[in-house]
Homo-oligomer: A and B are copies of this chain.
Amino acid sequence: MKELANQILNSIGIEAELITEILSIGRLKKTSAGRPVVDSESSGKEIPLVLEGLLKVMRQNPDGKEVFLYYLERGETCAMSITCCMDSRNVEFRLIAEEDSSVWMIPTRYLDSWIAKYPSFRRHVLISYQTRFDELLTTIDSIVFSKMDSRLYKYLLDTKQATGSYIINKTHEQIARDLDTSRVVVSRLLKHMEREEKIEQHRNRIEIL
């Protein structure tokens, strides 16, 4: 698995010297689909780099409600975890394995020196922030400027993009939880999309056309 990590770090342009350091310092964590990888409490000491699989980042509010924010794919890191540890602030979120996943956990205490020393790492951290920032803004767009139907459709397309498959294996109930709405609403809107021939529906499975 270190081999894979090596390869991924290399592909995002990290210097050989830093790769060696990251590999000697970090640790591997495997998580099976549907299970949490880290949440805000347990976080703050390590940041995750996705090696295999797919993670999803959920925003959590004090009452226990949740919304889906974005996916983290292979080679990506969680900007919020960096943020979270810097000032030992507690940002409330959950990282959940969407598929069976392998993640390389990197202790945060080295980050600052790496950012100073390695241009590639500096770039990677800033681009992570940039990408996530952008993703959050797009999320805000879809919530503020559109209705639930476009939001749902965006969610389906994002999922297609992240999994690389036109088939989405989720129940209406699961989707409803990600969008913080009710199952009935999701069923209603999906039925409508089916009539418009944007999707096809089967049990536990939606196909994007």
Contacts and interface: CB of A to CB of B under 8 A. Distances in A.
A150 to B, nearest CB: 12
A174 interface: no
Contacts of A25: none
A153 interface: no
Contact of A134 (B69, B89, B139, B140): B89
Contacts of A136: 133, 136-137, 140
B130 A67 contact: no
A143 B145 CA distance: 11
Given A122-B116, A139-B140, A144-B180, A134 B91 contact: yes
A133 B86 contact: no
Chain A, interface size: which category?
35 or more
A57 to B, nearest CB: 11
Contacts of A65: 145
Interface in A66-85: 67, 69, 79-80, 82-83
A158 interface: no
Contacts of A16: none
Given A79-B133, A83-B133, A116-B122, 11 more contacts: A59-B137, A59-B140, A59-B141, A61-B145, A65-B145, A67-B140, A80-B133, A86-B126, A133-B136, A140-B143, A143-B143
Interface of A: 59, 61, 63, 65, 67, 69, 79-80, 82-83, 86-87, 89, 91, 93, 112, 115-117, 119, 122, 126-127, 129-130, 132-134, 136-137, 139-141, 143-145, 180
